């Protein structure tokens, strides 16, 4: 019953283990959440890093442009300083020398040239033209305009690429004219709004850079003074595209740039058809307003494809894919384990069913056998009884006429029938031994032994001793065991008198009974044989016996989970040790 409960519990445990439980799902859910968090975290980290990088790039671009403009400003102020240092008007050769010494091509990439524009009032015009024509007969002003003053480009070096600009009057066009006036009025370097340079055949956007100089190298404090004493400006024309060459070239950037001035486009990577790097869906985008010499340039800076390429990191994807793979494996493992448990359960159930049917079969064949031996011995007894009776009558009736030999034969006949009766009775007993379950009783070993001695009719010449103690044990089977042992000890004794001792001991597991006699003993090679059914070690004609005694003892003792051991050297004395499991009931 307890075992059944236990196995039921174990089975329930297996059933339990064979299912996916909340905790399994929770683990999987948590690990998925963890995976996504790690993915999200790493992605946002990456994004932050990228954004910082983009900001750096954008700043760098604006700073580079500012730096470059600062360099050009210096060159122009250098021109102003040179003019201020010369007392009379600068000659063409002097300016050529100055501009050549600047090494524009090398030092100032992006600049188209450096030149001087003089301010010429209407009344000074004849004088100015005369001076210029004296040195350069082909010099002419262009185009015509309605303004009351002139700002003609007088010199510009290198002259060859700027040929179209020489003699160009800045007053002809609003952007050029307003900025030059602003330069005059502020005394500061000034840029024009976007214009198209006359010398640019491609008509791309550009601008001019002016720095004013005044009479006598002075730096007047106010507008009136400045207007009164203005002489001209040093200037540099720029084609925007060229300005953005060098370190600002597209291949050196990870951002694409669009620069506009008051809504007019100055520069756009996009307009360049050769571009490969524009990202139609930029990762980052930024607008920066940069104040540059009286103008506000609006920079629209966007990350480009090379930025995307460089920033594309699979780290977070790896985390996501790796994490999800692990989650999948975990789920697989759980499913596999629960499946394995279910299979184990199935197998165990199958085995249980098989075992049960086997047990049932065994129990049935066992009970069949018992039934058979019971019926057989029962039915065999009645004809045997009849034989015995008839022999008795013949002896009775024919006492006077039977020859002596026949009388002897009749005696043998009745003796054999007697023996057969005993065999059948013992067989019957043997088959019935363990049919009934006996409860523990309080048994006094000495009292029980005395009863047995009386029943067996042991000769007075035999002495017997047993301990006078009470033990708890099923009485009926113990009695059969002791009776057979005592009977054996006296029956097989080879002398007229003998001594038999029963001793008892017990531990936590077993009762131990030892019966010792001083009979002839049993040779060791026959110890096993002695315990087989129907085996006798002496002729039945010498010692009456069915050969069932020890077999019966063995059957009883083994039923009570004990054992029997024979200890004898075959010369003198036999010692039989019976172990009988204590029943706690």
Partner 1 sequence: MLEKSKDVTLLLIEDDDVDAMTIERSFLKQRIANPIIRAYDGIEALELLRSRDITRPLVILLDLQMPRMGGLEFLKELRADENLLDLVVFVLTTSKSDEDMLSSYRQHIAGYFVKGEAGENFLDIVNVLDSYWKVVHLPG
Using CB under 8 A as the binding rule, whether residue 381 contacts partner 1 is answered as: yes
Identify which of residues 325 and 385 has a Cβ nearer to partner 1 in the complex.
385
Kindly state the smallest distance separating residue 467's Cβ from partner 1, in Å. 35
- State the burial class of residue 417 (Cβ atoms within 10 Å of its Cβ: 0-12, 13-18, 19+): buried
Please write down the HEC assignment for all residues of 48-101. HHHHHHHHHHHHHHHHHHHHHHHHHHHHHHHHHHHHHHCCCCCCHHHHHHHHHH
If the CB atoms of residues 293 and 430 are measured against partner 1, the closer one turns out to be 430
One DSSP character per residue, 124-185 reads GHHHHHHHHHHH-TT---BS----SEE-BEEEEESTGGGGGGTTBBGGGSHHHHHHHHHHHH
Considering only CA atoms, which of 422, 427, 437 is closest in space to residue 477? Answer: 437
- CB 421, min distance to partner 1, A: 10
Query: Which of 195-203, 314-322, 376-384, 486-494 is the region at the interface with partner 1 (rule: CB under 8 A)?
Result: 376-384
Q: Is 421 or 482 the residue whose CB approaches partner 1 more closely?
A: 421
Asked if residue 459 binds partner 1 (CB under 8 A), the reply is no
How many residues touch partner 1 under the rule CB under 8 A: the total is 9
Only segment of 60-68, 234-242, 322-330, 379-387 that touches partner 1 (CB under 8 A): 379-387
Residue selected from 13, 49, 360, 378 as contacting partner 1 according to rule CB under 8 A: 378
The tokens for 375 are 């019926």
What six digits make up the tokens of 439?
């409860």
The residue among 421 and 502 lying less far from partner 1, judged by its C-beta, is 421
Q: How far is the CB of 408 from partner 1 (least distance, A)?
A: 22
Cβ at position 376, least distance to partner 1 in Å = 14
Burial of 39 (0-12, 13-18, 19+ CB in 10 A): buried
> Which long-range contacts does 533-541 make (Cβ < 8 Å, 24+ apart)?
533/430, 534/423, 537/492, 538/492, 540/419
| Torsion sign across C-alpha atoms 119, 124, 130, 134 | negative
Q: Is the dihedral of CA 342, 347, 348, 350 positive or negative?
A: positive
Q: How far is the CB of 566 from partner 1 (least distance, A)?
A: 34
Token reading at 548: 């069932």
- Cβ at position 581, least distance to partner 1 in Å: 31
User: Closest distance between partner 1 and the C-beta of residue 387, in Å?
Assistant: 8
Does residue number 476 form part of the binding site for partner 1 (CB under 8 A)?
A: no
Would you say 366 or 389 has its CB closer to partner 1?
A: 389
How far is 553 from 164, CA to CA, in rounded Å? Answer: 139
Q: Which is nearer to partner 1, 343 or 367 (CB)?
A: 367
Residue 141 or 391: which CB sits closer to partner 1?
Answer: 391
Query: What is the closest distance, in whole angstroms, from the C-beta atom of residue 572 to partner 1 in the complex?
Result: 40
Between 429 and 518, name the residue whose CB sits nearer to partner 1.
429
Structural contact between residues 171 and 283, judged by C-beta atoms closer than 8 angstroms: no
DSSP state of 117: E
Query: Looking at 66-74, 153-161, 305-313, 374-382, which segment touches partner 1 (CB under 8 A)?
Result: 374-382
SS3 569: coil
Q: Provide the β-strand partners of residue 504.
A: 513
Q: What share of the chain is helix, strand, coil (3-state, %, to 5)?
A: 55, 20, 25
Q: How far is the CB of 418 from partner 1 (least distance, A)?
A: 13
x/- track of binding to partner 1 for residues 382-401 (CB under 8 A)? x--xx--xx-xx--------
Position 411 contacts partner 1 (CB under 8 A): no
Nearer to partner 1, 298 or 381 (CB): 381
Cβ 398 to partner 1 shortest distance, Å: 14
Residues contributing to the site for partner 1 (CB under 8 A): 378, 381-382, 385-386, 389-390, 392-393
């Amino acid at each position: 019953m307890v075992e059944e409960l236990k196995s039921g519990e174990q089975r329930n445990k297996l059933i339990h283990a064979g299912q996916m439980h909340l905790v399994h799902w929770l683990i999987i859910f948590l690990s998925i959440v963890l995976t996504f968090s790690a993915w999200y975290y790493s992605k946002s980290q990456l994004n932050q890093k990228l954004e910082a990088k983009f900001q750096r790039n954008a700043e760098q671009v604006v700073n580079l442009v500012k730096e470059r403009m600062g360099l050009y400003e210096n060159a122009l102020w250098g021109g102003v300083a040179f003019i201020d240092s010369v007392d009379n008007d600068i000659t063409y050769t002097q300016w050529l020398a100055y501009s050549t010494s600047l090494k524009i091509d090398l030092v100032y990439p992006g600049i188209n040239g450096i030149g001087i524009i003089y301010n010429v009032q209407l009344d000074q015009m004849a004088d100015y033209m005369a001076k210029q024509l004296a040195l350069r007969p082909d010099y002419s002003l262009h185009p015509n305009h309605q303004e009351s003053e002139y700002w003609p480009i007088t010199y510009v070096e290198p002259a060859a690429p700027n040929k179209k600009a020489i003699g160009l009057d800045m007053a002809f066009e609003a952007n050029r004219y307003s900025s030059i006036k602003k330069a005059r009025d502020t005394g500061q370097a000034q840029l024009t709004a976007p214009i198209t340079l006359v010398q640019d055949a491609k008509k791309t956007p550009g601008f001019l850079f002016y720095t004013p100089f005044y009479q006598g190298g002075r730096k007047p404090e106010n507008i009136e003074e400045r207007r009164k004493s203005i002489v001209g400006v040093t200037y540099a024309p720029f084609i925007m595209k060229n300005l953005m060459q060098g370190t600002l070239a597209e291949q050196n950037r990870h951002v694409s740039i669009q620069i506009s001035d008051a809504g007019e486009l100055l520069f756009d990577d996009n307009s360049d058809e050769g571009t490969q790097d524009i990202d139609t869906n930029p990762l980052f985008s930024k607008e920066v307003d940069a104040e540059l010499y009286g103008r506000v340039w609006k920079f629209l800076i966007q990350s480009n494809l090379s930025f995307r390429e460089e920033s594309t990191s699979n780290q977070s994807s790896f985390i996501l894919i790796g994490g999800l793979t692990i989650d999948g494996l975990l789920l697989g493992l759980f499913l596999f384990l629960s499946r394995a448990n279910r299979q184990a359960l199935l197998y165990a159930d199958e085995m249980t069913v098989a075992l049960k049917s086997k047990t049932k079969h065994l129990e049935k064949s066992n009970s069949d056998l018992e039934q058979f031996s019971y019926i057989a011995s029962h039915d065999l007894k009645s004809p045997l009884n009849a034989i015995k009776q008839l022999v008795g009558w013949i002896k009775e009736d024919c006492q006077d006429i039977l020859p002596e030999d026949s009388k002897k034969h009749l005696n043998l006949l009745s003796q054999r029938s007697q023996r057969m009766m005993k065999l059948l009775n013992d067989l019957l007993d043997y088959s019935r031994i363990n049919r009934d379950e006996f409860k523990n009783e309080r048994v006094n070993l000495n009292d029980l032994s005395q009863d047995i001695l009386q029943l067996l009719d042991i000769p007075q010449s035999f002495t017997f001793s047993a301990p006078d103690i009470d033990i708890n044990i099923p009485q009926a089977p113990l009695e059969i065991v002791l009776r057979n042992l005592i009977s054996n000890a006296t029956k097989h004794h080879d002398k007229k008198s003998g001594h038999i001792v029963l001793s008892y001991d017990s531990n936590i597991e077993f009762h131990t009974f030892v019966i010792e006699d001083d009979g002839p003993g049993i040779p060791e090679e026959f110890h096993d044989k002695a315990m087989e059914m129907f085996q006798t070690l002496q002729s039945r004609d010498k010692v009456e016996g069915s050969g069932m005694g020890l077999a019966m003892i063995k059957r009883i003792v083994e039923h009570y989970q004990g054992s029997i051991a024979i200890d004898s050297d075959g010369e003198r004395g036999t010692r039989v040790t019976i172990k009988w499991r204590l029943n706690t009931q």
